[in-house]
A and B are shown apart, each in its own frame.
Chain A
Amino acid sequence: MPVSTFTNCLIMGLIVLLSFIKANPLEFAKPKLSDYGFFREPMADQIPVDNIFPYRISTELFKDYAFKSRFIVLPEGEKISYISSEEFYFPVGTIFIKTFYYPADFRFPEKNRQIIETRLLVHTPEGWTGYPYVWNIEQTDAILEIAGDRQKVSWIDKQGKSQKVNYLVPNFNMCKGCHVIDKTFQPIGPKPRLLNCDNFYDGTHKNQLEKMLELDMIDEIPLIETIPATAEWGSEHYSLNDRSRAYLDVNCAHCHNSKGSANTSGLFLEYHEKDVKKLGVFKPPIAAGRGSGRLDFNIVPGKPDESIFIFRMESTDPGILMPESGRKMVHKEGVILIRDWILSLEDN
């Protein structure tokens, strides 16, 4: 075979392959979670194999009281690069694993877990993409479900009361709904400022970024003390304002930012936003429909009951509630936090 024909074939093959990649969003997905080999058997214990790093973030998105476990898988020999306190660069081949589960009784969270879904966020050569895997009833494996799923779940909450929800596993497009910012699919949670918190390692507390450095996962990073750390919304160690801003940042700002899908509203809730009007103070609703709850402003300082924020956080009506995807229950503790915060704001 002449060399030129060979190259032509190669190029043709590449073109076919590339057009296939473009056309098919599932190119990089495996049909079953077990196909990836992330976890030791039994998979339901969620104990990862070596070199998979479990992590947490300081404030996490509320998803109907589900518990979450998170892991990072880095491609062999590659490291994370620090860009800013808002952004790490994760090399192509990185996979984030997030598993959602409910203990049967929240007072004993280690026992009788029901795992619902595991989401993978994969950095493919074509960019980031997300795949939802739904666990089987036997809890032996999970299957890729691009159209999502609904599952009835019940549990006993921390107060001993029984709770239930028709849990929604997001479909492939819903993943994009939150993760596409400025037309690019990107991770939301693992920002340096959200990873900059303590975690448990062999029974002792340690700063998570420090641990990652120790494990040689990050190539270069400024002094950890100089990296901003987003407040833990449920921890009294932080001010009411910081906790509230962290809560709004993580629960709302993935859409409510100037490049997110909720930029039509003009309401921007990122942690660093300083313009109080953009944060909602005396800002009238835009295109909110009955989401306005007959109220004039997103936030009226000192008056949570006159603030659209609280109205929408307390609703479970799909045409009213916020965040508009992922939540079916009221996050009572979150509502109390934002209520207290609005009460604490002064009118000036």
Chain B
Amino acid sequence: MLKEYFNQKILCCFLFLSLSFGGFEKEFQTKLILAESGDTLKIPTGIQHLLGTLSLDGKENIVISGTGVDESILSFKNQEDGAEGLRIINCKNIRLENFTIQDTKGDGIKVQETDGITMVNVKAEWTNGPNPENGAYGLYPVQCRNVVIDNCMSVGASDAGIYVGQSVNIVVKNSEAYHNVAGIEIENSSNADVFGNNVHHNTGGILIFDLPDLIVKKGENVRVFDNIVEENNLDNFASPGNIVGTVPAGTGILVLATSDVEIYNNRIINNKTIGTGIVSYFMTELPVTDSLYNPYTSAIYIHDNLFERRKQMPTLKHEIGTLLFLKFGWDVPDIIYDGMPDPQYTNSDGKIFPEQSLCIQNNSNADFLNLEIDKNFEKWYTPFFARFSQDISPYSCELPPFKETLTNQ
């Protein structure tokens, strides 16, 4: 009773204030600040223009709901301040559904330190096409647990469209990403299922990365399956200096320095440079000074994927593309491994423990290339001297199936 009375009084008071200032932005931000557990905050149909970041902080069990993608639109075309469109931090069980967020100066939706974030039917887009001036990430949960991204869309991010970083228990499914530098990226994250997505016309399709110098040091147990990864041949338009700026145009799936990754039942089609790549951090040629960081890949299982690649030139804007072109012309291999096993998992004769090996099994039309950069270190990029192996037999093995990711969402 008391509570209701006071809330009503305060609500009236703020309703009056927000009306006197006017505008969706102030009104909605006030609702976000006063929201209580169980509330659903509605975004009306139509375009709402905003000048600054909307934020939700320290709340539980809140739904933010529009009337549909491309129907309820939050436009940040005239954004004056704030680095994101919508920022959610330090919350629990938040659901975002049925709206579009457009043209933010920085990230579209950033969710940080939140346990339980579900996005369904949410689109983040930059409306002027792929452009280095676009914000970095479309949908961006970082340092979260229990992340579900379902039936979402990201278009035009100058880094990654759907990017989950330093998080645990993640499902990214049935979503679409195009015209981003990276379509979907899972970075320094554990237990992720990425499936049923359509990832096309990005620079790189699906990236599974572990990077140094972060709080969460390591990602593992990532499954990438039943995705369409097609025509990811867009010129890289990321700001140089970002790790994603080093991804060659024409990359389908790339695993960088991550362990325990299973890639299966995907259709990996017409990605002109690297259909699927498995590489250590050394390939970035950046220095590693983080002593807790493991730059190697291990236990990677690639099986039952369909590869198709029409004859076309790999990118010549990246040294690996140039190398592949000089060596293979229009017909470059589909699965490329840098040949750098993790020394902590090798026997005295240099052979990797079977359970930590790269295993490639039962893919259609998959040609293999091992760059063996440990043997070609100085000259791996000089194709006339380097000696590569196309022998897949050492990697013709199986790994036990990986764990399914369960979230509480």
Chain A interfacial positions (CB closer than 8 Å to B): 13, 16-17, 19-20, 23-26, 31, 143, 145-150, 166, 168, 171-174, 176-177, 180, 183, 258, 261, 263-264, 266, 277, 282-297, 308, 317-319, 324-325, 328
Contacts and interface: CB of A to CB of B under 8 A. Distances in A.
B10 A24 contact: yes
Contacts of A172: 33
Given A16-B2, A24-B7, A180-B90, A318 B81 contact: yes
A25 B10 CA distance: 11
Q: Which of B105, B213, B242 has the most CB of A within 10 A?
A: B242
A24 B106 contact: no
Interface string B1-39: 111001100100110011001000011011011101100
Given A289-B135, A296-B241, A20 B6 contact: yes
Given A266-B215, A319-B104, A284 B241 contact: yes
Contacts of B133: 290
B137 interface: yes
Given A147-B21, A324-B106, 20 more contacts: A13-B2, A17-B2, A25-B33, A146-B34, A147-B33, A173-B57, A176-B58, A177-B55, A261-B112, A264-B214, A283-B213, A284-B243, A286-B211, A289-B106, A289-B135, A289-B159, A289-B242, A290-B133, A319-B135, A325-B53
A168 B14 CA distance: 19
B166 interface: yes
Nearest to B142: A264
A97 to B, nearest CB: 21
A92 to B, nearest CB: 20
Given A147-B33, A266-B215, A290-B133, A285 B6 contact: no
Contact of A288 (B6, B80, B112, B241): B241
B143 interface: yes
12 contacts: A147-B30, A283-B213, A286-B214, A289-B106, A289-B159, A290-B134, A290-B158, A292-B240, A293-B241, A317-B105, A318-B82, A324-B82
A13 B58 CA distance: 25
Contacts of A180: 57, 90
A20 B3 contact: yes
B158 A296 contact: no
A297 B83 CA distance: 20
B30 A288 contact: no
A23 B3 CA distance: 9
B51 A150 contact: yes
A281 to B, nearest CB: 10
Contacts of B10: 24, 26
A289 B82 contact: no
Contacts of A319: 83, 104-106, 135-136
B400 interface: no
A288 B137 CA distance: 10
In order of increasing CB-CB distance, the 4 nearest A-B pairs are: A289-B136, A319-B105, A292-B241, A319-B106
Contacts of B30: 146-147
A296 B107 contact: no
B350 interface: no
Nearest to B10: A26
A282 B212 CA distance: 13
B79 interface: yes
B287 interface: yes
B81 A328 contact: yes
Contacts of A171: 29, 33, 55
A20 B239 CA distance: 48
Contacts of A283: 213
A166 B90 CA distance: 29
A50 B266 CA distance: 73
B29 A148 contact: yes
Given A285-B241, A288-B136, A146 B287 contact: no
A289 B107 contact: yes
A206 to B, nearest CB: 39
Contact of A293 (B36, B83, B239, B287): B239
B215 A264 contact: yes
Contacts of B163: 287
Contacts of B132: 290
B241 A295 contact: yes
Contacts of A325: 53, 81-83
Q: Which of B29, B83, B143 has the most CB of A within 10 A?
A: B83
B239 A292 contact: yes
A176 B88 CA distance: 12
B289 interface: yes
Contacts of A143: 17
A173 B241 contact: no
Interface in B40-86: 51-53, 55-58, 79-83
A292 B239 CA distance: 7
A39 B298 CA distance: 66
A287 B51 contact: no
A285 to B, nearest CB: 6
A318 B105 contact: yes
Contacts of B134: 290
B34 A318 contact: no
Q: Which of A20, A183, A292 has the most CB of B within 10 A?
A: A292
Nearest to B214: A266
Contacts of A324: 82-83, 106
B214 A146 contact: no
Contacts of A277: 213, 289
B32 A290 contact: no
Contacts of A19: 3
Contact of A289 (B13, B52, B137, B289): B137
A173 B33 contact: yes
Nearest to A19: B3
Contacts of A287: 136-137, 142, 159, 163, 165
Contacts of B82: 318, 324-325
A172 B142 CA distance: 22
A147 B104 contact: no
A172 B54 CA distance: 11
B332 interface: no
Contacts of B112: 261, 264
A21 to B, nearest CB: 10
Contacts of A20: 2-3, 6-7
B3 A290 contact: no
A23 B36 contact: yes
Contacts of A148: 26, 29, 52
Contacts of A25: 33-34
Contact of B57 (A147, A149, A176): A176
B89 interface: yes
B80 A318 contact: yes
Nearest to A23: B36
Nearest to B284: A284
